[in-house]
Amino acid sequence: MSSPAIDDFELRGHTTVRSSDGTFLRVQTPTGAPARMLDPIRGQIGQQLEARAVQRMRPHPGRERLAVLCPTIGWESVHTALTGLDIQDIDDGGTPVAAHGLVVQVATTPAERSLLDALPDSGTAVLRCYREGEILFVDPLALAPGDPSGSQVLRRRLAASVAAEELDVWLGTARPADGTLEGLPALATQFLGARIRSMVAAWQYDTDELAALRRNLWRLDTRTLCSSQHPVLGFAEPAENPGRRR
């Protein structure tokens, strides 16, 4: 990694330094000192800023490692977006373990959307995306019990739809084209990758955005490139029917 860029300028008789991350530092130098006297100070400042940048890039403890449950063919934009992170691919038939702080899942069929619903209960977060025709979706980030699961997102959508029966039947029909991103505009698939990467970053660094990401379904129209967010709240699952009492 290259050293952070440093810009220095004079302000009210003081030398001020701005680092590339937007930090301003006031440097005390003797009045009338030649500009060359700032060179060794600039070097020290550069080392300090570089050390701070390295520290800033470290995810919160326990949020360093990811697992990816995603086909290697047809979803390249997802893999590209996660390049450089500490990730481990999981085969389609594999079972993620709790050692991974977050599992990024591409659900190629509606049935797969509930595959990882139990993981947040054990402390493993789930970030899920999928395709429906020309529309791409990213589910709310599930971090803990009470966050909307994949099956709950689907049920919320059906409850809010004016064509719930039609949507339910359509989703139950095998659609091989939805198993990849083939045929979609390249820019749209890049938008998907950027959305996933930004959500991973919010989780790793525990940003203020994280709360909203846990309750909003993201939708992208790949033709218009217009995106929208739709609130989805988790709910307590009803207890199983114990059957008729004798």
- The secondary element (H helix, E strand) that includes residue 14 is strand 14-19
- Residue 91 contacts by C-beta under 8 Å, 6 or more apart in sequence? none
Question: Binning pLDDT at 50, 70 and 90, where does residue 4 land?
Answer: low
Distance CA 137, CA 220 (A): 6
DSSP tag of 101: S
pTM for the full predicted model: 0.83
pLDDT higher than 90, residue 39: no
φ/ψ of 95, rounded to 5, equals -115, 115
pLDDT tens by residue, 56-78:
888 889 898 899 999 989 999 99
Determine the 3-state secondary structure of 131 from DSSP: strand
Distance CA 103, CA 206 (A): 16
